[in-house]
Amino acid sequence: MVYKQLVRRTLFRFGGGDPEVAHERTMTVLRRVAAMPPVLSALRARYGVVAPRTVFGVHFPNPVGLAAGMDKDGVALPAWPALGFGFVEVGTVTRHAQPGNDRPRLFRLPDSEAVINRMGFNNRGAQALADRLDRLGPLPVPLGISLGKSKVTPVERAVEDYRHSMRVLGRHGDYFAVNISSPNTSGLRSLQDRAALNELLAGIQEENADNRPLLVKIAPDLTDSAIGELLEVCGEHEISGVIATNTTLSRDGLAASDRAKAEETGGLSGRPLAARALEVVRLVHKETGGRLPIIGVGGIFDPDSAQRMIDAGADLVQVYTGFIYEGPGLIRKINRSLR
How far is it, in rounded angstroms, from Cα 58 to Cα 306?
A: 20
Residue 270 labelled as part of a binding site = yes
Residue 246 labelled as part of a binding site = yes
Residue 320 labelled as part of a binding site = yes
Dihedral sign for Cα atoms in the order 156, 214, 308, 81 = negative
Residue 203 labelled as part of a binding site = no
Q: Which of 150, 181, 182, 305 is catalytic?
A: 182
Residue 62 labelled as part of a binding site = no
How far is it, in rounded angstroms, from Cα 165 to Cα 167?
A: 5
Residue 119 labelled as part of a binding site = yes
Residue 228 labelled as part of a binding site = no
Strand partners, 64: 317
| DSSP H stretches of helix in the chain | 2, 8-11, 14-17, 19-33, 37-47, 79-82, 126-136, 158-169, 194-207, 224-236, 259-262, 274-287, 303-312, 321-326, 329-338
CB neighbours of residue 265 within 10 Å:
11
Residue 175 labelled as part of a binding site = no
DSSP sequence for 83-99: TT-SEEEEEEE-SS-B-
Burial zone of 1 (CB within 10 Å; 0-12 exposed, 13-18 middle, 19+ buried): exposed
Residue 299 labelled as part of a binding site = yes
Residue 288 labelled as part of a binding site = no
Burial zone of 187 (CB within 10 Å; 0-12 exposed, 13-18 middle, 19+ buried): middle
**E strand or H helix at 244:** strand 241-244
Strand partners, 58: 55
Residue 69 labelled as part of a binding site = yes
Residue 247 labelled as part of a binding site = yes
Residue 333 labelled as part of a binding site = no
Is 337 in the active site? no
Residue 122 labelled as part of a binding site = no
Residue 41 labelled as part of a binding site = no
Known binding residues for substrate: 72, 117-121, 179, 184, 246-247
Catalytic residues, which ones?
A: 182
Annotated binding site for FMN: 68-72, 92, 146, 179, 217, 245, 270, 299, 320-321
Binding residues, by number, are 68-72, 92, 117-121, 146, 179, 184, 217, 245-247, 270, 299, 320-321
